[in-house]
Amino acid sequence: MSPGHPDPAADSGDGETGAATPLLEMRSVNAHYGAVHALVDVDLAIYEGELVCLLGGNASGKSTTLKTLLGMLNPTSGEVVLDGEVVNDQPTSYRVARGVTMVPENRRLFKRLTVRENLDLGAYLRSDSDQIAVDMERIFELFPRVKERLTQKAGTLSGGEQQMVAIGRALMADPRVLLMDEPSMGLAPALVQQNFELIQQIHEAGLTVFMVEQNANMALSIADRGWVLQTGRVVLDDTAENLLAHPDLQASYLGTAEQ
């Protein structure tokens, strides 16, 4: 099924460095939940400056991939490599401190804490308070609405506002690569388009983005490259263009039928 794996480095489109070492990499990673084999020999590499996406239907292992990258789940075999260093044995805090940050599925704000507390928690591992203040201001520039809601409880915000805070919270960690778990999930249709535009915008500002999505057409329209995951295996690995044109995409991945 799988087409030949193209050399990822050659495709790292608008990457600023084009360096040979990927920023974040999985080398034939296997992961289990008890007996359930959630990831099977997954290989993927994300290069600095890229906007890449991982597609797949429900329960195909997308969230598991992100958890493994972030160290919230330990692979049973294979390696997770951050900036050339094997980080299998490093805890999540180590990886977050080195620039890997996740926007979780469904945003999952700390609902009973205020917006400000949510943002502060994003910067939990940082101690450079001056720079934190600068980053906070940048987030207010990006989302003026967030600034108005600072002392409000996050759980009382509308869906769109929660998305802003979730992204803002992740940006407060000053990440190098942003892992986004189904950012368009649960958003009103009118918000989905805007949401992808926003991701593109954040990416253009210099952030590497690894996005997990079910909404394949939308995701591929802004991504450089992508992988398709099926029951824990990478079945397609190609440029966004090729993936969109790929005859197997629709078949291998039914989630796109919605549009």
The footprint of ligand ADP (CB under 6 A) covers: 33, 36, 38, 56, 58-64
Coil, helix or strand at residue 115 = helix
Q: What is d(CA 141, CA 32) in angstroms, rounded to the nearest whole number? A: 42
Q: Among ligand ADP, Mg ion, another protein, none, what does residue 61 contact (CB within 5–8 Å per kind)?
A: ligand ADP
Closer by beta carbon to another protein, 147 or else 233 = 147
Cα–Cα distance, 91 to 191 (Å, whole number): 35
Coil/strand/helix, residue 10: helix
Chain residues binding another protein by CB under 8 A are 70, 72, 91-93, 95-97, 102, 104, 108, 110-114, 117, 120-122, 124-125, 138, 141-145, 151-153, 155-161, 163-164, 167, 169, 173, 186-188, 190-191, 194-195, 197-198, 201-202, 204-207
Shortest CB 60 distance to another protein, Å:
20
C-alpha–C-alpha distance, residues 32 and 64, integer Å: 9
**Which residue carries 């009382």 as its tokens?**
156
Task: Note whether 68 binds Mg ion by CB under 5 A.
Answer: no
Binding partner of residue 19 among ligand ADP, Mg ion, another protein, none, CB under 5 to 8 Å per kind? none
Which pair of tokens denotes residue 148? Answer: 């108005």
60 binds, among ligand ADP, another protein, Mg ion, none (CB under 5 to 8 A by kind): ligand ADP
Strand order across the beta sheet in which 177-181 lies:
100-103, 177-181, 208-213, 51-56, 225-230, 233-239
Task: Compute CA distances 111 → 104, 117, 152, whole Å.
Answer: 14, 10, 10
Q: Cβ of residue 56: shortest distance to ligand ADP, in angstroms?
A: 5
63 makes contact with Mg ion (CB under 5 A): yes
Does residue 60 belong to the site contacting Mg ion (CB under 5 A)?
no
Task: Write down the least CB distance from residue 39 to ligand ADP, Å.
Answer: 8
Of 63 and 184, which CB lies nearer to Mg ion in the complex structure? 63
Closest to ligand ADP by CB, 8 vs 56, is: 56
CA distance 65 to 71: 10
| 49: helix, strand or coil | coil
CB of 202 to another protein, least distance (A): 6
- Residue (11 or 213) nearer to another protein, CB: 213
d(CA 241, CA 239): 5
